[in-house]
Structure 1
């Protein structure tokens, strides 16, 4: 009997979204994964309308109504990027299942969500050490209150711990994506 961990069972996807609460490392992991896959990386923060940015800057949590246009714009941009390179990586909180379903519906194809799983304490420590243009630490509790942890039995998700080093997370994700060849400098 093999003791090697089994590969996760999920649907192959050209669009990969690194998701989780604020300060989980979405942008860092997403950018590194994009480099590893030689794929465009789109940071979801850049797709927020200015009204959303102002609300967050003022410590006001976003509502579903605030999120739909943002998620639609990001989804469209990811589809366009995937059309050009056959793969695209995005960073997006995608905290609720309805948001993940909406993104997948708008994409019109499977989307793999890479869930950066971390405790409130670990994420809180990270958030306290960084400065974000418009995401104050006061919004972290609302992020965890909104989070619906993805279920690998019913969603296209790969769960990885935020406490792993960046290179280990990228290796874990790329190993689970045999349909996408990792970019190696010597190739």
Structure 2
């Protein structure tokens, strides 16, 4: 009897994550079973338990890898904008949209699966690194605001994260009936501009 194809994988764990990511893109993070992921990877369901406790654990690993990619993209965007605090801040906002488009499976595992960022220590660290980059960009920019009027950097970055997430969810992921008359990039840029003008960080439009 021939051996099952899956046992020839050089990295069974990563093969399972890749299979899960494809299924997440096709069916959503709650739309597939562990058996389906195993079948897509070419292994038996029992083989999955060599690396994962269950489906949620598999999705958590996909999310962790997503946060690592996300953090790298955010760091690249931040560095590219230097030495301008404003350019770095705006670039990290755009990186969010770019990530969601290029890595939809990871994005859904991270933000739409219901898996907590505290599901395990590795996932928590990866999520904190990504959040820390945006918070650093916000902190750099908010130095221009008088201390008595300066919002906490965590709040500042959370506002931009929420704005970016909203644009992605409503207008950048093909949701039915959610078409805007403007490109998502333009919506995000103008939204960030309005926010920053409100804080007095960029001059008002004439």
Q: Report if TM-score (shorter chain) is over 0.5.
A: no
Higher RCO by CA contacts (8 Å cutoff, separation 6 or greater): 1
Range of TM-score over shorter length = under 0.3
Which has a greater percent of strand?
1
Structure whose residues are more often helix by fraction = 2
